[in-house]
């Protein structure tokens, strides 16, 4: 009997090329607040982190939870307004998901994105019937690089962490996958391999990945 195994994917930068839309929504928020626009370097330094981590640094002053929540909601509303119309999966992503599903893998998305984004984008991308679980920002109390998001995915999928494979494009996400005890694949969409230390393998994009390769990485990590 084949032991259950799971593939858990980050969303932004791994399954979808959303960086430019997220950056633009931060720029718009800065404009509304009268702040200097977020530079590309600053954006990629924090891409993949939760808004509650980013916003105090953006403001450059102490803030409270209510203000963080209000500004986070505004930024994500700016993002969703465009993302549901413009976002598409990276090349190879749908083919990989379909292949893994056909081979009996359980599939999930584990992301720092807010639940409203997840619930809007998963159906827009045609992923609803392929996924057995989605875990978003509100579903855990500690965020990447802490392992909670991936451990919650494993719990919802009913698969032990050692039988889970994580795909991540951000340093914080790779650290989270490692901390969860999961074999983690670095996807080099926005960071070089040197920034994704600890990954068991690196790929330029999901078009390079096949179900047999996933089996091999899982066996190697075990």
Q: End-to-end alpha-carbon separation of the chain, Å? A: 17
Mean pLDDT by 10 residues, the chain (222 residues): 90 93 95 94 84 91 93 94 93 98 98 93 96 96 95 98 97 96 96 95 97 94 72
**Co-location of 144 and 96 in the same domain:** yes
**Co-location of 96 and 30 in the same domain:** no
Say what the pLDDT of residue 168 is: 98
Q: What is each CA distance from 66 to 37, 55, 115, 208, in whole angstroms? A: 23, 12, 18, 43
Q: What φ, ψ does residue 117 adopt, rounded to 5°?
A: -65, -45
- The answer to whether position 1 is within a domain reads no
Active site residue 42: no
**Co-location of 134 and 211 in the same domain:** yes
Boundary residue ending a domain (61, 86, 111): 86
Say what the pLDDT of residue 1 is: 61
Domain that holds residue 97: 6-17+88-221
User: Which residues on adjacent β-strands are paired with residue 164?
Assistant: 6
**Co-location of 56 and 157 in the same domain:** no
**Co-location of 95 and 163 in the same domain:** yes
Boundary residue ending a domain (86, 111, 130): 86
Say what the pLDDT of residue 50 is: 81
**Co-location of 35 and 138 in the same domain:** no
**Co-location of 32 and 133 in the same domain:** no
- The answer to whether position 204 is within a domain reads yes
The CATH code of the domain that includes 179 is 3.40.50.1000
Active site residue 195: no
Boundary residue ending a domain (66, 86, 106): 86
- The answer to whether position 167 is within a domain reads yes
Burial class (CB in 10 A: 0-12, 13-18, 19+), 85: exposed
Instruction: Quickly list H helices, the chain.
Output: 19-33, 40-46, 51-59, 65-86, 93-102, 115-124, 148-157, 171-179, 211-221
């Amino acid at each position: 009997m084949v032991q259950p195994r799971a593939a858990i994917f980050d969303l932004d930068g791994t399954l979808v090329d959303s960086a430019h839309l997220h950056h633009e929504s931060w720029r718009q928020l800065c404009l509304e607040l009268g702040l200097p626009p977020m530079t590309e370097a600053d954006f990629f330094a924090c891409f993949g982190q939760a808004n509650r981590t980013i916003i105090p640094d953006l403001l450059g002053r102490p803030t409270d939870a209510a203000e963080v929540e209000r500004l986070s909601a505004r930024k994500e509303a700016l993002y969703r307004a465009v993302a549901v119309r413009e976002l598409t999966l990276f090349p190879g992503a749908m083919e990989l998901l379909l292949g893994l599903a056909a081979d009996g893998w359980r599939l999930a998305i584990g992301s720092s994105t807010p639940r409203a984004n997840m619930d809007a984008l998963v159906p827009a991308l045609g992923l609803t019937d392929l996924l057995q679980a989605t875990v978003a920002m509100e579903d855990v109390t500690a965020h990447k690089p802490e392992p909670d998001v991936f451990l919650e995915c494993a719990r919802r999928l009913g698969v032990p962490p050692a039988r889970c494979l994580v795909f991540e494009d951000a340093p914080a996400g790779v650290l989270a996958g490692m901390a969860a005890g999961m074999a983690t694949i670095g996807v080099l969409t926005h960071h070089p391999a040197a920034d994704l230390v600890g990954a068991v393998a690196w790929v330029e994009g999901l078009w390079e990945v096949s179900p047999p390769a996933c089996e091999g990485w899982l066996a190697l990590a075990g």
